[in-house]
């Protein structure tokens, strides 16, 4: 076990909506002497608040926490604490979301199937080498990162985008369409990739400009 004083330990904030998973992460990280857990959160709003309070060295951020879309959460965290390295934890190994997250400024992307030593190594690497990216994904996903798909929006994606244009939240869209909120988030991620959009407003503007949705779809600003 490595030893370090409290002032020199790598501070980490854990963000996942499953308390048992956060507890497991805490035990793994604090089993070594040079990493400490500075705070925890189970949703995007709490994550942003905890980061603002603790200014951690590293954030371990689950890709599908409740609240804002993950790239929005990444952007808010980076605005509050630019020096914090953000490592995404995900069950999914796909190039489209990875492309957008890299553009948003994440420092790492790990599948939740990684071994404990890989997790600890990633946290240390991101903290010690600011220019380094840590990616634990398949070779095929990595090969496709530079070439995301740009297909036409599906009927369901158009429905989701029209409601987003009316300033409805993901939760409101899910209720309106009878979908799970996680499904709406996946549709929004696909929309962002296909339209090469940086935000919901950007996606709406591009869809309007391309006549993919009618002008009357636009609601108030969110």
CATH number at residue 204: 1.10.10.10
Specify whether the CB–CB gap between 36 and 30 falls below 8 A: yes
Query: What's the pLDDT at 221?
Result: 43
Note the pLDDT tens digit of each residue in 111-143.
998 999 999 999 999 999 887 888 876 666 555
Rounded Cα gap, residues 88 and 115, in angstroms? 15
CB 122 within 8 A of CB 57: no
Average pLDDT of every residue of the chain: 86
User: Is the same domain home to 193 and 83?
Assistant: no
Q: What is the CATH number of the domain that holds 109?
A: 3.40.50.2300
Task: Extract the tokens encoding 111.
Answer: 């599948």
Q: Judge contact between 125 and 99, C-beta under 8 A.
A: no
Helices 181-195 and 170-177 pack at an angle, to 10 degrees, of 110
pLDDT band at 147 (very low <50, low <70, confident <90, very high): very low
Percent of the chain with pLDDT over 70: 85
174 has a pLDDT exceeding 60: yes
The confidence score (pLDDT) of residue 143 equals 57
The pLDDT value given to residue 219: 59
Whether residue 158 has pLDDT greater than 50: yes
Residue 150 placed within a domain:
no
Least confident of 9-13, 47-51, 146-150: 146-150
Is residue 4 scored above 80 in pLDDT?
no
Chosen domain end from 144, 171, 189: 144
pLDDT digits (tens, 9 = 90+) for 79-118: 999 999 999 999 877 666 777 788 888 999 999 989 999 9
Let me know if residue 149 belongs to a domain.
Answer: no
User: Which residues, other chains included, contact 158 with Cβ-Cβ below 8 Å and sequence gap of 6+?
Assistant: 212, 213
Is 0.75 surpassed by the pTM of this model?
no
In the predicted model, is pLDDT for residue 150 greater than 80? Answer: no
189 and 97 in a common domain: no
Query: Does 206 fall in a domain?
Result: yes
Same domain for 22 and 108? yes
3-state secondary structure at position 85: strand
Q: Is the pLDDT of residue 217 over 90?
A: no
User: Residue 156, exposed/middle/buried by CB under 10 A (0-12, 13-18, 19+)?
Assistant: middle
* Domain span including residue 79: 10-144
Q: Of 49, 20, 40, whose CA–CA distance to 112 is shortest?
A: 20
Do the domain assignments include residue 138?
yes
Which of 110, 144, 178 delimits the end of a domain? 144
Instruction: Work out how many domains the chain is built from and give that number.
Output: 2
- Chain Cα centroid distance, residue 57: 17
Of 11, 2, 14, nearest to 112 by C-alpha is: 14
């Amino acid at each position: 076990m490595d030893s370090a004083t409290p002032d020199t330990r790598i501070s980490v904030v854990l963000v996942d909506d499953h308390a048992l998973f956060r507890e497991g992460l805490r035990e793994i990280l604090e089993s070594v002497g040079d990493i400490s857990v500075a705070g925890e959160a189970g949703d995007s709003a709490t994550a942003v608040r905890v980061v603002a309070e603790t200014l951690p060295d590293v954030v371990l951020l689950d890709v599908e926490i409740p609240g804002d879309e993950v790239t929005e959460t990444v952007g808010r965290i980076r605005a509050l604490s630019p020096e914090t390295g953000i490592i995404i934890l995900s069950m999914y190994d796909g190039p489209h979301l990875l492309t957008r997250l890299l553009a948003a400024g994440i420092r790492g992307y790990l599948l939740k199937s990684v071994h404990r030593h890989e997790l600890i190594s990633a946290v240390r690497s991101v903290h010690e080498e600011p220019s380094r990216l840590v990616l634990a994904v398949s070779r095929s996903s990595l090969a496709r990162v530079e070439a995301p798909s740009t297909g036409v929006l599906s009927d369901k994606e158009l429905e989701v985008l029209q409601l987003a244009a009316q300033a409805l939240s993901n939760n409101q869209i899910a209720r309106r369409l009878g979908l799970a909120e996680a499904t709406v988030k996946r549709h929004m991620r696909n929309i962002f990739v296909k339209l090469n959009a940086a935000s919901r407003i950007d996606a709406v503007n591009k869809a309007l400009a391309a006549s993919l949705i009618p002008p009357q779809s636009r609601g108030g600003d969110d």
